[in-house]
Amino acid sequence: MALSVRKALLLAGIALVITGLPTAAKLVRWFTVISMLFQPVAAAREIMADCQELARCVQMILREVNRIIDFFLNLYAAWYHEEVEKYTLAQIRAATNNFAHLIGQGVSGRVYGGTLGDGRMVAVKRLKDCLRRRAEDTFGMELALLQPLSHDHVVRLVGSCADGEHRILVYEHIDNGTLRDHLNNNGAPPSWITRVQVLLGAARAIEYLHGEDVIHSNVTSANILLDRSLTPRVSGFGASVRRAPGVASQAVDVVQTEGYRDPEYDRTRRLKPATDVYSLGVVMLEVLTGQPPVRANNATLVSWALPSIQARKMDDVLDRRPTSNPSPGQRKALKMVAKTAASCLCRDGDSRRAISHVVTELEETLKLICNG
């Protein structure tokens, strides 16, 4: 009996193997097919990993190439743009007769008149709070910004002094006051031709600055200096900012002068070239009306003059001083200035005139006013 059970089991086993073999073979075949299906996926994964590695290498190479290009560009810049002269405090004291002649007061310090050893007249800005970080930053920023700039209507930086805690910037002296001073001169306010010439020079300076990726950020009539021939030079770069390449606007904290503040920047705290266009629009209103940017009752010039200009009633706000009476031809040209000013003063920065258009329009106006 026991034997027959063993036999039966053996026979059953043989039968199972015989019947199971094809099933096992099938399984092996399926397994092979499935693993073949997964082969391309694995291969693709390997290719992806290789691509990622390649991209990392390319990125690394590009970074290095960029670094090398930057190095050579800086080398070229340092070689091409002569560094401004460096003075000791003793030399500055000697030039300014120990800071005896105050000629201006800016946001970041006082400005003194002086004469260098070689006879050049200079304006010396002594930054206040020299031990604090802000003065150090202003000094470094203004030096780096102004050093490479060169334009007929931008004040020229002559030298600098970093002696102990003292941080001083030395500019060419522009010795005929500011546009504000001239507009305030009730006895002899500038002629209409001069006013448009000054606006055009300032607009060209701002166009140049924007081309150099510099946003002035504090364009005012007190920052437009005039020389003996009434040629304007834009100054006051204490709040200026270098624009990040390819960026439309950037979040920076700048202090704009009351009356010139761009409402869009006030709202967003994002600076863009249009901020300068707005402030230049305020300067245009000053030139047209002869009024300061903030009036006696604390109302801004914009809130006072712009509604009349937009309602085509420029005469209501035009400078009424007797010597400022324009001829009919000049009046026509001044209407063009008023129109340009209004388009610079849009609340929305992107709707404002581009600075290049402002320059073109002022060029046209100047032609017209000279003929009028």
Residue numbering of the annotated binding site for ATP: 125
Give whichever of 225 and 309 is closer to ligand ATP, judged by the CB atom.
Answer: 225
Phi, psi of 207 (to 5 degrees): -60, -45
Dist. CA 284–CA 301, nearest whole Å: 11
Give whichever of 141 and 354 is closer to ligand ATP, judged by the CB atom.
Answer: 141
Q: Which of 106, 190, 259, 293 binds ligand ATP (CB under 6 A)?
A: 106
Where in 127-156 is the site for ligand ATP (CB under 6 A)? Answer: 155
Residue whose C-alpha is closest to residue 263's, from 182, 146, 330, 351: 351
Where in 300-329 is the site for ligand ATP (CB under 6 A)? Answer: none
Scanning 185-193, 221-229, 246-254, 314-322 for contacts with ligand ATP by CB under 6 A, the matching segment is 221-229
- Smallest separation, CB 175 to ligand ATP (Å): 6
Is 273 a binding residue for ligand ATP by CB under 6 A? The answer is no
Where in 156-175 is the site for ligand ATP (CB under 6 A)? Answer: 171-174
Dist. CA 156–CA 78, nearest whole Å: 17
- Smallest separation, CB 174 to ligand ATP (Å): 4
Size, binding site for ligand ATP by CB under 6 A: 23
Is 223 a binding residue for ligand ATP by CB under 6 A? The answer is yes
Scanning 14-22, 235-243, 269-277, 346-354 for contacts with ligand ATP by CB under 6 A, the matching segment is 235-243
Scanning 18-26, 102-110, 307-315, 350-358 for contacts with ligand ATP by CB under 6 A, the matching segment is 102-110
Long-range contacts of 133-142 (CB under 8 A, 24+ apart): 134/108, 135/108, 135/109, 135/167, 136/167, 138/108, 138/167, 138/238, 139/167, 139/169, 141/240, 141/242, 142/169, 142/237, 142/238, 142/240
Pairing relationship of beta strands 270-271 and 241-242 according to DSSP bridges: unpaired
Is 218 a binding residue for ligand ATP by CB under 6 A? The answer is yes
Dist. CA 141–CA 217, nearest whole Å: 14
- Smallest separation, CB 360 to ligand ATP (Å): 27
The tokens of 353 are what? Answer: 């005139």
Residues in the chain: 372
The tokens of 302 are what? Answer: 């914009």
Helices 273-289 and 355-371: angle between axes, nearest 10 degrees = 20
- Smallest separation, CB 94 to ligand ATP (Å): 19
Is 249 a binding residue for ligand ATP by CB under 6 A? The answer is no
Amino acid at 173: H
Is 178 a binding residue for ligand ATP by CB under 6 A? The answer is yes
Dist. CA 301–CA 293, nearest whole Å: 5
Give whichever of 106 and 281 is closer to ligand ATP, judged by the CB atom.
Answer: 106
Q: Which stretches of the chain bind ligand ATP, using CB under 6 A?
A: 103-104, 106-108, 111, 123, 125, 155, 171-174, 178, 218, 222-223, 225, 235-239
